[in-house]
């Protein structure tokens, strides 16, 4: 676990109602001082208070959106692309990042971390977790090197995310629930599992209402099964009443005739089922 991460704060900007609601459900229950939500598209004032501008990019080649180019200049994009060419063989894969120093800008650094290779679908992926993880590791390494040099006043402590990608409702987007879920996993990895469990905790505590609903469902299921059994039994009884009684189709048991008939023959000597009388199919027979 990285101890330096405890002093770092991320400010996330978003106006999406579903994201804001999900974020509060996840992080309001615990003492969260790492992820701070700013309910706006961006922090237009006091940008100097942030050391780093974190850009979760939709490509691996250093292309910045027009809004960032206007704020940081085209030379920033050129430097970024050149660094990717020199150090990452022209492509920065998902799970890597570039910490680019800025001069004469409101931010000291631009942290470029891609979440897709070339504007691909991020639905169902763990791209946010990977992007935040590699960003945190890069920040922690930078702060560790600064401490070794004795420059404690030049540490990265505040990061701004002016835009949160993948919060739309299209099939290519990640969605607010998975976005916050991955932030929660990042929090657990680098800070630890909080004592107070919320909806993203590993221990799922069933409330009384949920238990009662489960019991009601089980009772309804048992009741339906019993009704089905009763219907089947009633149907069988009705079928038996409608059908005529079947006579005993079993043939009478043949037994050998005990008397010595000599040359006479006796065919089909039978006994009835109660074994009390004898019957023959031929009326005239001889001793």
pLDDT in tens, 158-212: 999 987 888 876 778 888 999 999 999 998 888 776 655 555 554 344 445 566 7
* Helix or strand holding residue 139 (H, E): helix 127-149
**Contact by Cβ (8 Å): 51, 109:** yes
pLDDT at 65: 93
Q: In terms of DSSP bridges, do strands 98-101 and 269-271 run parallel, antiparallel, or are they unpaired?
A: unpaired
Domain regions of the chain by residue span: 4-190
**Contact by Cβ (8 Å): 105, 77:** no
- pLDDT score of 253 more than 90: no
Mean pLDDT of the chain: 79
Which one of 3.40.47.10, 2.40.37.10, 3.40.50.970, 3.40.220.10 gives the CATH number of domain 4-190?
3.40.220.10
pLDDT at 46: 65
pLDDT at 152: 83
Helix (H, G, I), strand (E, B) or coil at 195: coil
* Average pLDDT over every residue of 205-224: 74
pLDDT at 165: 85
32 vs 257, which has greater pLDDT? 32
């Amino acid at each position: 676990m990285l101890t330096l991460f405890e002093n770092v704060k991320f400010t996330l900007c978003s106006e999406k109602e579903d994201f804001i609601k999900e974020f509060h459900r996840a992080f309001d229950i615990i003492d969260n001082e790492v992820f701070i939500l700013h309910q706006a598209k961006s922090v237009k004032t006091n940008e100097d208070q942030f050391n780093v501008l974190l850009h979760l990019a939709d490509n691996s080649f250093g292309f910045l959106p027009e809004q960032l180019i206007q704020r940081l200049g085209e030379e920033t994009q050129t430097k970024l692309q050149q660094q990717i060419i020199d150090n990452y063989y022209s492509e920065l894969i998902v799970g890597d990042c570039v910490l680019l120093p800025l001069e004469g800008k409101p931010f000291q650094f631009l942290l470029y971390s891609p979440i897709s290779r070339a504007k691909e679908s991020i639905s169902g992926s763990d791209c946010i977790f990977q992007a935040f993880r590699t960003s945190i590791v890069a920040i922690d390494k930078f702060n560790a090197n600064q401490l070794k040099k004795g420059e404690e006043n030049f540490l990265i402590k505040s990061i701004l995310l002016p835009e949160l990608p993948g919060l739309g409702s299209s099939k290519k987007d990640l969605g607010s629930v998975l976005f916050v879920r991955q932030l929660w996993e990042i929090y657990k990895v680098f800070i630890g599992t909080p004592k107070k469990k919320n909806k993203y905790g590993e221990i799922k505590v069933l409330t009384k209402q949920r238990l009662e609903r489960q019991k009601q469902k089980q009772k309804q299921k048992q009741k339906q099964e019993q009704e089905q059994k009763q219907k089947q039994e009633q149907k069988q009884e009705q079928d038996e009443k409608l059908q005529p009684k079947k006579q005993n189709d079993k043939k009478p048991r043949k037994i050998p005739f005990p008397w010595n008939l000599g040359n006479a023959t006796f065919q089909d000597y039978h006994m009835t089922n109660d074994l009390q009388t004898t019957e023959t199919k031929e009326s005239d027979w001889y001793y």
